[in-house]
Chains A and B, each alone.
Chain A
Amino acid sequence: MTDFVTAIVVALYFIMLLGIGAWASKKIKNTEDYLVAGRQLGFWVFILLMIGTVCSGMSLLGVSGLGFKAGWPTIWEQIFVPLAIGICIIFFGVKLHNVARTSGYVTVQDYLAHRYESPTALRSLSAIAGIIVSLIYLVGQYTAIAIVLIWLFQIPLWLALLIATIVTMVYTAIGGLYAVAWAALIQSLTLIIGVLVMAPIIIWYAGGFTHINEYIGSINPNLVMPWNPVGAFAPPYVVSFALLLGLGLACAPHVINNVLAIKDVKYFKWSPLIAFVIYGVVIFLLKFAGFAGLVLVKEGVFVLPSVPNAQDFIILYGIQSAMPVLALWAIFAVIVLSAVMSTTDRLMLTIGAMFSWDLYKKVIRPNAPDKEVLLLSKIVVVLSAIATMIIAINPPEMLAILIWMGIGTMLATFAVPLLAGLYWRGATREGALASMSLGLVAALAFGFLNYFKVNVLGFDFATIPLHFSAYAFIVSLAAMIIVSVLTKKTHEKILDETQTGWYISKQ
């Protein structure tokens, strides 16, 4: 579907992002400016940054694809992904932000090192685990960008990846969090307005809300039920899915680091509600566009391509069918790219921060001057982009597993050490080390066994009733409790400094 107008629209979008990067680069004076935007993010920039960070490649392609495939039982995705922003702000953000203002945290690893009195071991483990899970997630994002560019321009995968990598890498590397946040403002607004306009057109084209529900219910009554009777999206799975999305995304390093960058803690008052409503409406419309796509396919309006991940193309084919105007497809392509790139840039910056700040500045070379750390941050952003691009030259059907594996690993690795650190005074350094390391290993193991349907000693991992990450989360939780009870407690002074206790905020 290549045409001149499409190329111009996409090129203008890319140029605008590079312009934001160039503008932002002039505001960078030190590493703190680069990694936490000088702690000067305003209310709406913060909300749209959070939406942009959570809204990933899966949000447009995968959400509607899953709706197309499994119907209403997957609707919980539309509730718990937007809720993840509120969970992040309320249960992690308020306390982290308050402590960070006096302790000067730049990354969430700064908090973990302080709270658990582990400036080297836990910080290093946390940073390395964070880099691993962010890279897994990042590969999924680049694959999503490539799907869109290939669809749009019918170009080879390597070229699509190269274009996406260069643009995202340049504005992120030169502008840091200022560039990522202001790009997210534009990208999230593009996404919100675009989906609010285009999704209803697809839904209307398929016959409207009620007709779509009645139609898919006539194909299979389970498609309009709140859960499936057995297997994936049965009630136990839905509970683990809620845990995965609500908590897993909330504690992901690239999401949680955003709370350190705001100007005023009062922003946390209404931002959970506003983010839930705005993003909830957007992602619900995307899901419903997937239901509409199912009606259109069953009615023979269009046929999906014969590829393993055909459902991920449903929103793209739906828009082509409902709005046969080339210029509109180009705008829609920009919307999809906005969704994907707003997560990609934040992930790359987070990897840069974890390596240059947590590993290099805090462990390897504590006396390194700020300019050296800043330069290293930029170099790591570039290297992570290039490494991910090379890894992403894989079949696109890996998209879903890569993203689920990424979020699942984040849940199993970070949720327990962070929650226990913030709220339980009995959580110890050894407990956090055990919880994080075993959670990481268990998530990778369960994810592998589940995805490749391994049968061990008569136990079939393909049919486990919960999402694989829930088992790894339980391992992480058990390790934290057992090891903390058996090991030496953290000093009371540190617990007071880090505001550890069963409260969100001392008011």
Chain B
Amino acid sequence: MFGLPDITVAVVGGVVLVILAALVYWGLTFRGHD
């Protein structure tokens, strides 16, 4: 895909997706505190 080996797409894409999921989870659950 995109002229790249499958391992590159899987590893790099996988890490990016995990980070995005974690940051979305943070946004949905963070309520702040004052």
Interface residues of A (CB under 8 A from B): 72, 75, 79, 83, 86, 90, 94, 98, 101, 209-214, 217, 224-226, 264-266, 268-270, 272-273, 276-277, 280, 505-507
Q: Does the CB pair A273–B8 fall under 8 Å? A: no
Q: Does the CB pair A79–B16 fall under 8 Å? A: yes
| B12-34 interface with A by 8 A CB criterion | 12, 15-16, 19-20, 23-24, 26-27, 30-34
Residues of B within 8 A of A211 (CB): 3
Q: Does the CB pair A505–B33 fall under 8 Å? A: yes
Minimal beta-carbon separation of B11 from chain A (angstroms): 4
CB < 8 Å neighbour of A98 from B4, B8, B16, B33: B33
Q: Does the CB pair B19–A83 fall under 8 Å? A: yes
Report 23 cross-chain contacts, Cβ distance below 8 Å, ordered by A residue.
A72-B8, A75-B12, A94-B32, A98-B33, A98-B34, A101-B34, A209-B2, A210-B2, A212-B3, A213-B2, A217-B4, A224-B3, A225-B5, A225-B7, A264-B32, A269-B32, A272-B23, A272-B26, A272-B27, A273-B26, A276-B20, A280-B16, A506-B33
Q: Does the CB pair A273–B23 fall under 8 Å? A: yes
Minimal beta-carbon separation of B17 from chain A (angstroms): 11
Supposing A72-B4, A225-B5, A225-B7 touch, asked if A507 and B16 sit within 8 A by C-beta, the answer is no
Q: Does the CB pair A273–B27 fall under 8 Å? A: yes
Bound Cα distance A101, B4 (Å): 49
CB < 8 Å neighbour of B8 from A83, A209, A225: A225
Residues of B within 8 A of A264 (CB): 32
Interface residues of B (CB under 8 A from A): 2-5, 7-8, 11-12, 15-16, 19-20, 23-24, 26-27, 30-34
Residues of A within 8 A of B2 (CB): 209-210, 213
In chain B, what residue has the closest Cβ to A264?
B32
Q: Does the CB pair B7–A505 fall under 8 Å? A: no
In chain A, what residue has the closest Cβ to B11?
A226
CB < 8 Å neighbour of A79 from B15, B24, B30: B15
Minimal beta-carbon separation of B9 from chain A (angstroms): 9
Residues of A within 8 A of B15 (CB): 79
CB < 8 Å neighbour of B3 from A101, A209, A277: A209
Residues of A within 8 A of B27 (CB): 269-270, 272-273
Minimal beta-carbon separation of B30 from chain A (angstroms): 5
Bound Cα distance A273, B24 (Å): 7
Minimal beta-carbon separation of A402 from chain B (angstroms): 28
Can you list the 10 inter-chain pairs with the closest CB atoms, starting with the nearest? A213-B3, A273-B23, A214-B3, A210-B3, A226-B11, A265-B32, A266-B32, A270-B27, A269-B30, A505-B33
Bound Cα distance A277, B7 (Å): 23
Residues of A within 8 A of B8 (CB): 72, 224-226
Q: Does the CB pair A265–B33 fall under 8 Å? A: yes
Bound Cα distance A83, B33 (Å): 23
Residues of B within 8 A of A265 (CB): 32-34
Bound Cα distance A209, B4 (Å): 10
Given contacts A226-B11, A277-B20, A505-B33, 10 further A-B contacts (CB under 8 A): A79-B12, A83-B19, A98-B34, A213-B4, A214-B3, A217-B4, A226-B12, A272-B23, A276-B19, A280-B16
Residues of A within 8 A of B5 (CB): 217, 224-225
Residues of A within 8 A of B24 (CB): 273
In chain B, what residue has the closest Cβ to A211?
B3
Minimal beta-carbon separation of A18 from chain B (angstroms): 37
In chain A, what residue has the closest Cβ to B7?
A226
Bound Cα distance A83, B2 (Å): 24
Bound Cα distance A411, B16 (Å): 23
Bound Cα distance A83, B18 (Å): 12
Bound Cα distance A254, B30 (Å): 25
Minimal beta-carbon separation of A179 from chain B (angstroms): 28
Bound Cα distance A148, B5 (Å): 36
Q: Does the CB pair B19–A268 fall under 8 Å? A: no
Q: Does the CB pair B33–A507 fall under 8 Å? A: yes
Residues of A within 8 A of B4 (CB): 72, 213, 217, 224
Bound Cα distance A3, B17 (Å): 46
CB < 8 Å neighbour of B20 from A210, A224, A273: A273
Bound Cα distance A273, B27 (Å): 8
Residues of B within 8 A of A269 (CB): 26-27, 30, 32
Minimal beta-carbon separation of A272 from chain B (angstroms): 5
Q: Does the CB pair A268–B30 fall under 8 Å? A: yes
Minimal beta-carbon separation of B19 from chain A (angstroms): 6
Minimal beta-carbon separation of A216 from chain B (angstroms): 9
Residues of B within 8 A of A506 (CB): 33
